[in-house]
Structure 1
Amino acid sequence: MSADLSFVADAMKQSVPWVRTTGVEFVEVAADRVVAELPDREDLRNHVGGPHAAVMFGVAETASGAVVMAAFSAELGRATPLVARSEIAYKKLALGVLRAEAVLGRAAADVVAELDAGTRPEFPVHVTITNAEGVTTGEVTVVWTLRPNR
């Protein structure tokens, strides 16, 4: 039986003002995968007509945060998810609507086991950014940690 993750999109929009400001929408939400889309808006573009590099990173990091929330919602009372580090590769000029597909890079049960053992686990979320035609325009890895609450 799968968990009801319908709360994730609303929670992201309520807790992260950038999500509301830019108009990020969550197309798919699962415990190990999230797809987010960012509309093509002139005020988010760069000097060559595509989305600004920061905007590309932003939608990828947002999708990664949503998958973390979905995967570890049961742990949020005892641990706070934080970004530890990230890396982005810009592959091609992005034009039009952006789609960011974030995939959890480790089994959630393994991460929770580390948390249960008293360590501060780290885990990657891999994100592929594509344009409206499905062409990969960027690849991002965001490494998250669950910091135990004190």
Structure 2
Amino acid sequence: MTADYAWVADAMARTVPWISKAGIEFLETGPERMLCALPDVPEQRNHVGGPHAAVMFGLAETASGAVTMAAFTPLLERAVPLVASSEIRYRKLARGRLTAEAILGRDTAAVTAELESGSRPEFPVHCTIRDSGEEVTGEVTVNWTLRPHHA
């Protein structure tokens, strides 16, 4: 039986107002992979007519946060997920609607064990940004940590 992670989209939109304001859609939700989309909005374009770099990063970071939330749902009462660092590579000028696919880069059991041992685990989420032509336009790695509530 597969768990339903559609609640992640609602939770993200409620807790991070920018997500709704930007128009991010959650196309696929799960604990190992998340797929989000961002419509082509003229007000969010850069000086060469593509989506602004900040918007591209925001889409990928949102997808990475959503997969983190889904993957570590049982731990959210004890720890808050926070971005520790990130890196982005812009590969090509993007055009049109964007999608960001986020893939959890570390085994959830290992991260959970680290948290339970008293340390503050870090784990990467790898994101691929594609434009309306399905061209890879950016690659993002967001390194997350789980900070215990008592810390």
Q: Is TM-score (shorter-chain normalized) higher than 0.5? A: yes
- In the TM superposition, 1:100-111 aligns within 5 A as 100-111=100-111
Partner of 2:6: 6
Letter in 2 for 1:92: K
The percentage of aligned residue pairs carrying the same residue is 62
Aligned positions of 1:4-83 closer than 5 A: 4-83=4-83
* Equivalent pairs, count: 150
Q: Could you say what secondary structure the match of 1:57 adopts?
A: helix
User: Following the alignment from structure 2 to structure 1, what is the Cα–Cα distance between the partners of residues 6 and 38?
Assistant: 19
Q: CA RMSD in A?
A: 0.6
Residue 135 of structure 2 aligns with which residue?
135
Write the letter of the residue equivalent to 1:147: R
Q: Distance in 2 between matches of 1:33 and 1:16?
A: 20
Describe the superposition over 1:10-52 as per-residue Cα deviations: whole angstroms up to 9, x where unpaired.
1111111110101000000011000000000001000110000
> Once the two structures are superposed, what CA deviation does each residue of 1:38-73 show, in whole Å capped at 9, x if it has no partner?
000001000110000000000000000000010011
Where does structure 2 lack aligned partners over 5 or more consecutive residues? none
Amino acid at match of 2:23: G
Separation (CA, whole Å) in 2 of partners of 1:13 and 1:78:
21
Tell me, in whole angstroms, the C-alpha distance in 2 between the residues paired with 1:35 and 1:133.
Answer: 16
> Partner of 2:94: helix, strand, or coil?
coil
What do the CA deviations read for 1:98-149 (whole angstroms, capped 9, x no partner)? 0000000001111001011111000000000001121100000000000011
Q: Give secondary structure in 2 for the equivalent of 1:58.
A: helix
Structure 1 CA distance for aligned equivalents of residues 97 and 14 of structure 2: 22
Which TM-score applies when normalising by structure 2?
Answer: 0.98
* Whole-angstrom CA distance in 1 between matches of 2:73 and 2:44: 31
Match of 1:90 in 2: 90
Deviation at 1:4, TM superposition (A): 2.2
Aligned residue for 1:134, secondary structure, equals coil
The amino acid of 2:76's aligned partner reads L
Specify the SS of the correspondent of 1:100. strand
Q: Which amino acid aligns with 1:142?
A: V
Cα distance between partner residues in 1 of 2:2 and 2:149? 27
**What are the ranges of 5 or more consecutive residues in structure 1 without an aligned counterpart?**
none
Counterpart AA for 2:43: D
Runs of 4+ in 1 over 6 A off after TM superposition: none
